[in-house]
Structure 1
Amino acid sequence: CSSRNRHHSSPASEVPSPAEMEPDRPIGYGAFGVVWSVTDPRDGRKVALKKMPNVFQNLVSCKRVFRELRMLCFFKHDNVLSALDILQPPQIDCFEEIYVITELMQSDLHKVIVSPQPLTTDHIKVFLYQILRGLKYLHSAGILHRDIKPGNLLVNSNCLLKICDFGLARVEEPDQSRHMTQEVVTQYYRAPEVLMGSRHYGSAIDVWSVGCIFAELLGRRILFQAQSPIQQLDLITDLLGTPPLSAMASACEGARAHILRGPHKPPSLSVLYMLSDGATHEAVHLLCRMLVFDPAKRISGGDALSHPYLDEGRLRYHTCMCQCCYSVPSGRVYTRDFEPPADRNFSHSYDNSLLSVWQGKELIHHFITEHQQGKRVPLCINPQSAAFKTFIR
């Protein structure tokens, strides 16, 4: 990055010496881009730089990227990753990719789970509390994440957690006649209604994913690890039992027939107690409320936060980790609302008005330019730097 500032320079005291600055490096790759750890030249702080390439290949890609960009700028929550800045775009004729700066986190929950690091019950409660706290915020804004998995839950060494990667996120569709894609959620964390081809689904799919992650935190292994979507469905019914017909009302004919022609399976939820010593009665009770086959009977993210299992996680988070409470000489001052919802719904009114890629390019270019108004000195890419040449490779 380079700072576009012709008149001012940052105080030398704000910029660390070269010995203190780690080299820029890639820290993550996804379906829709690459993330690098870089240094913000304005203050010397390490941040994450996400490159969104090939934005304007087609209208679908254009809409998806614009939706994710607007979401990152909309979010204002401690447990949801948001945009700190967006790099200044070039002239519109040369505008092909977008660079977003976010907070740099140290790791993700997948790396923690597969590591030899011990995970205590306190760790699990604090992690789960933050996941559900962030999820309540997203759902209250009308947003479905649609790809909740351990790799999309960023964590720091102090156990602070943020939900990230909104490439598959979209606004919840209240019209049940509107068809929604089934190409969502990594298979191991995919809800039964999606596996069974339901044309419409809601926020319950994210809660199912959190339930799978909860079990994975307890057992240090993936709960439903199958080779195919059909086998995935079979593993779920092995645990939960054969669902009643009412729970398969929205399933496609093929999936319903597959369930009905198989042998009747009784539930075997007692095996959840064998996940680990941390699988107490309270833990398994909450887990069973999340892993319900029928999405209409599955607990919501907001209601899950009220479960007694999370009381200790809430206390620990707000006693020493959150930014919404603070300490004074006489003691701790706690916020009035521990799990605040979004202050408004996320708007997606532009979706149907975008009719061409060029129109989308103009709209995104204008959005970024407008977003930078009144902000700090804007940043842009220096294409001559060695770091950029490595970055684009």
Structure 2
Amino acid sequence: MEYGQAETAKRSDSRSSRSFQSSTDLILRLKSLLKVWPCRKERKPLAAVKHQLDLDLMYSELATQMSVLDSLAKMSLDWKPASSEVEPETTSCKTSVLLETSTNSTPLTPTKALQRYYSILSRFELHEIHDYQDIYFLGRDHQRKLLPRSNYGHDCRLGFYRYIRSARAARKVSYAEVFKVYDHKESIIVVLKIGRSLPPYSLQVKREIGLLKRLKESDVKINVIQMIDHFSFRNHECVTFKLLPFDLIHLIKLSKGEGYHLHFVQKWILSLVTTLVELGKQKIVHGDLKPGNLLLEGLDSTEVMLIDFGFASYDGQDLLPNVQALRYRAPEVLLGATKYGPPIDMWSVGVIAAELYSGDNLFTSNSETEQVAALVELLGSPPEELLKVSDPKMKSVVDSLLRKAGEAETKELRGALKYCNDNLFLDFVRKCLDWNPDARLKPDEALRHPWIVKDIPTPIYDGGKTSLATRRA
């Protein structure tokens, strides 16, 4: 049958079949349309069938029958064009539907959602919608391409989720993206972490969820961000958290290179070390301490909340290589040791304390070789015991650096901290930054360190006001 004849037959048949006696007649009608409609690359047969189907539903007044809608959804999912050259269907979502949860409006069931918004749902969504009891929100304006090679078009090639109602991710880590989003069910703004869909990263998010659940069930008061909920969505592991507005890296930038008074530095470090003591009791090593993972309720808060347990380990199991950000990485991890423990977190504490005081990075390295060179310059030669358990490649890097410098010349820690005159603070940082992890300051020892326990007066500036001003002690 020629295309023009098929078009004429379709229009004639449509005019003569405005009503149906049963859902069976409607399904037979759909089958006949699929049978006579030619499958050509330049045509989009399913879109045309959907349009005709919408008219038939309107005339037959069968939209309220769930059995019919289920059948139609299943048929649209199972239907395949005769030619393999037909391009994947692209559905343009013309309407963003926000379903408010109030006394006057309740969430939609899958049945109601299909009745109202069948025409704007993709084939994937027609099937997916039955996995949910309540529908609070439907889509946004975008082109959704059904491409199985990229998780049905939902992901980029790296496995990050593409469709999110946000201009950009608030932060991105190697295994996930973090967004500030609106929870339509609870009517609150939360933080949403969406893990990458690729298997190694998905397992990393699952491990983080497991550790957060362990901490939540322990009933221990600890300054760790509480997980609100976790779920799986389109092959992505997702976690929601309470939104906190500031982190320590934000404060460091606000200081414009001047740093903060030791009164505030002491409070922040005390809060962090107290958290590490509790994590130690739970046999958890965080593995990624840095200013960006320490949040504050407000600019005047002295309690820091620890986030991001994606690189954490429990009881020495499932240790990941290359944990910690480069500039906060403990030397045993940097040199390739296969085993590590709580001392790596205390190394990061020392670096963070130095940066809060100075307002600048203690190390400015951009590669592992540069970082090793910076450590040798600040701390001198590493102990032989550490080199014995190091990766041979990194050991050769250290040997090369020592040969070039002869006897390694070290710079004074006091100079690196802008000539700080508080000897107790210098001693605290120096004991955190020890080459030997066994000799490094431990969290419970840090709580008893003279600098932590001493009373540092609250700074009073011009006008008699207490401030986070960038004047140092």
User: TM-score, normalising length from structure 2?
Assistant: 0.55
Select the residue among 186, 206, 209 that pairs with 1:69.
Answer: 209
Q: In the alignment, what sits opposite 1:232?
A: 371
Q: Distance in 1 between matches of 2:429 and 2:346?
A: 10
Query: 1:253 corresponds to which residue?
Result: 392
SS in 2 for 1:233: helix
With over 3 angstroms needed to count, the CA separation of the structure-2 counterparts of 1:215 and 1:116, relative to structure 1, is closer
Q: Would the aligned equivalents of 1:35 and 1:49 in 2 still touch at CA under 8 Å?
A: yes
Alignment CA distance shift 1:49-1:6 (3 Å): farther
The alignment partner of 1:197 has SS state of coil
Change (3 A) 1:223 1:165: same
- Equivalent-residue separation in structure 2 for 1:4 and 1:241 (angstroms): 63
Question: Shift of residue 4 of structure 1?
Answer: 8.6
Q: Distance in 1 between matches of 2:203 and 2:397?
A: 36
Partners of 1:201 and 1:241 lie apart in 2 by: 22
Q: For 1:172 and 1:294, how far apart are their aligned partners in 2?
A: 21
Whether the aligned pair in 2 keeps the contact of 1:51 and 1:97 (CA below 8 Å) is yes
3-state DSSP of counterpart to 1:124? helix
Aligned to 1:311: 453
Equivalent-residue separation in structure 2 for 1:313 and 1:63 (angstroms): 45
Aligned to 1:123: 264
Q: Deviations over 1:115-159 (max 9, x none)?
A: 137622121111111111122222221122111111111122123
Is the counterpart of residue 108 in structure 1 residue 247 in structure 2? yes
* Cα 1:258/1:301, change in 2 over 3 Å: same
C-alpha displacement of 1:202: 1.4
Query: Where do 1:29-68 residues align within 5 Å?
Result: 29-41=172-184, 44-54=187-197, 57-58=198-199, 60-68=200-208
Quote the offset at 1:257 in angstroms: 3.5
Deviations 1:286-342 (A, max 9, x none): 1111000011111112211211211258999xxxxxxxxxxxxxxxxxxxxxxxxxx
Q: Which amino acid aligns with 1:196?
A: L
- Take 2:455 and 2:341, find their aligned partners in 1: how far apart are those partners? 27
247-256 or 189-198, which deviates more: 247-256
User: Equivalent residue for 1:265?
Assistant: 408
Does the C-alpha gap of structure 1 residues 6 and 112 become closer, same or farther in structure 2, counting only changes over 3 Å?
A: same
Higher relative contact order (CA 8 A, sep 6+): 1
1:151-300 alignment runs, 5 A limit: 151-157=292-298, 158-173=301-316, 180-261=319-400, 262=402, 263-265=406-408, 267-268=410-411, 270-272=412-414, 275-276=417-418, 280-300=422-442
Distance 1:191 1:79 in 2: 23
The answer (yes or no) to whether the contact 1:273–1:284 under 8 Å persists in 2 is no
Residues 125, 312 of structure 1: 8 Å contact kept: no
Gaps of at least 5 residues in structure 2 are: 1-97, 107-164, 459-473
Q: Which amino acid aligns with 1:82?
A: Q
- Residues 277 and 31 (structure 1), Cα distance of their counterparts in 2 relative to 1, 3 Å cut: same
Q: Hey, what's the Cα distance between the residues in 1 that align with 2:409 and 2:307?
A: 37
Structure 1 counterpart of 2:289 = 148
C-alpha RMSD over aligned residues? 3.2
1:301 aligned onto 2:440 = no
Q: Aligned partners of 2:440 and 2:190: how far apart in 1?
A: 38
Q: Where does the alignment leave 5 or more consecutive residues of structure 1 unmatched?
A: 10-22, 317-393
One-letter amino acid of the structure 1 residue matched with residue 190 of structure 2: V
| Percent identical residues | 25
Contact 1:289 1:299 in 2 (8 A): yes
Query: How big is the shift at 1:276?
Result: 4.0
Q: Cα offset for 1:187?
A: 0.8
**1:176-209 Cα deviation digits (max 9, x unpaired):** xx9x543221111111111211121111111111
Give the counterpart letter for 2:226 in structure 1: S
Q: Which moved more, 1:284-293 or 1:214-223?
A: 214-223
Q: CA deviation at 1:42?
A: 5.5
TM-score by length of 1: 0.65
**CA deviation map 1:83-117 (0-9, x unaligned):** 02235x56xxxx51233221111111111111137
Counterpart residue type for residue 245 of structure 1: E
Amino acid in the other structure paired with 1:152: N
Give the total of aligned pairs.
291
Q: Which has the larger radius of gyration?
A: 2
Instruction: Give the Å deviation of 1:62.
Output: 3.9
Structure 1 residue identity aligned to 2:228: L
Structure 1 position 73, deviation (Å): 2.1
Q: Residue type of the partner of 1:288? A: R
Letter in 1 for 2:312: A
CA contact (8 A) 1:125 1:313 kept: no
Structure 2: distance between partners of 1:299 and 1:203: 10
- What is the identity, as a one-letter code, of the residue corresponding to 2:305? K
SS of aligned partner of 1:297: coil
Partner SS state of residue 338, structure 2 = coil
Q: Secondary structure at the match of 2:427?
A: helix
In the aligned structure 2, how far is the partner of 1:297 from the partner of 1:3?
58
